[in-house]
């Protein structure tokens, strides 16, 4: 993993374990923890959605790819292929750029990513081949769907650099290589690399508390009594 902002170096086994544990917590709890740490604007815009809708849970380490609208002859984007070849296990490709209206990501890229151990993609742009990506069980969150390909219209110009994605409470959210992304039914959130483990531990604590509250409510405890016992969660 690329280390940023004094983030600790982690072994592949540690990265895989952290990803597995994040899959057991909700973005809402992660967002609350980030607020307490002073990271108030880490959620991506509300129009990021899972495609297909049932592939609605994603977690992994950020591998960033950036592009821009650039007319060029049909025949493929060699830089896009180079960028994709660097993706590794437990990583999510994070796509950023100004290619409004075109598809950055389709079935063949998804298959190539999956072969390399990638666990999903988050795209500030378009996706196509949605039915087939769903058949392959490869989770993707994107801002929109479109049948229009990027070839001849949009070209990759950098990868594994900080990128910006449209934000929910701010105009943009910066994502650096080695940050962590979590997505579920509530949306997608970015956890800076240097606080990934701190956020996870507290999100797991909140999750255990919520599990206890739900069990007591199901057993007849009133909401008022639950709030008095557990406080705000």
106 is in an annotated binding site: yes
Q: CA-to-CA distance for 85 and 118, rounded, in angstroms?
A: 11
Query: Are the C-beta atoms of 174 and 181 separated by less than 8 Å?
Result: no
Q: Is 186 annotated as a binding residue?
A: no
Would you say 129 is a known binding-site residue? yes
What three-state secondary structure class fits 199? Answer: helix
Q: Is 185 exposed, middle or buried (0-12, 13-18, 19+ CB in 10 A)?
A: exposed
Q: How far from chain centre, in Å, is Cα 114?
A: 16
Q: Is 107 annotated as a binding residue?
A: yes
Q: How far apart are CA 106 and CA 76, in angstroms?
A: 13
Contact 89, 1 (CB under 8 A): no
Answer yes or no: are the C-beta atoms of 31 and 168 closer than 8 Å: no
Nearest Cα to 180, choosing from 28, 30, 13? 30
Is 13 annotated as a binding-site member?
Answer: no
Separation between Cα atoms, residue 92 and residue 117, nearest integer Å: 10
Is 76 annotated to bind a ligand? Reply is no
Question: Which residues 6+ apart lie within 8 Å of 232 measured at CB?
Answer: none
Q: Can you say which residues are annotated as belonging to the binding site for substrate?
A: 106-109, 128
Q: Can you say which residues are annotated as belonging to the binding site?
A: 106-109, 128-129
Q: Can you say which residues are annotated as belonging to the binding site for Mg(2+)?
A: 129
């Amino acid at each position: 993993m690329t280390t940023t902002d004094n983030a600790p170096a982690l072994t592949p086994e540690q990265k895989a374990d952290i990803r597995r544990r994040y899959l057991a917590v909700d973005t809402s709890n992660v967002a609350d923890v980030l607020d307490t740490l002073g990271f108030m604007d880490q959620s991506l815009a509300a129009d990021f959605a899972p495609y297909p809708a049932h592939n609605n849970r994603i977690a992994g380490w950020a591998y960033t790819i950036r592009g821009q609208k650039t007319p060029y002859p049909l025949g493929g984007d060699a830089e896009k292929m180079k960028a994709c070849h660097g993706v590794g296990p437990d990583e999510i490709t994070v796509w950023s750029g100004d290619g409004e209206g075109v598809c950055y990501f389709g079935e063949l890229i998804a298959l190539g990513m999956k072969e390399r151990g990638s666990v999903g993609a988050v795209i500030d742009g378009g996706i196509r081949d949605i039915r087939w990506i769903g058949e392959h069980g490869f989770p993707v969150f994107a801002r929109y769907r479109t049948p229009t390909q990027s070839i001849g219209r949009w070209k990759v110009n950098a990868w594994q650099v900080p990128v910006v994605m449209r934000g929910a409470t701010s105009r943009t959210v910066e994502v650096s290589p080695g940050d962590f992304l979590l997505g579920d039914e509530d949306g997608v959130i970015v956890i800076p690399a240097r606080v990934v483990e701190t956020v996870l531990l507290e999100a797991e604590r909140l999750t255990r508390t919520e599990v206890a509250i739900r069990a007591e409510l199901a057993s007849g405890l009133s909401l008022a009594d639950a709030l008095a016992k557990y406080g705000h969660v």
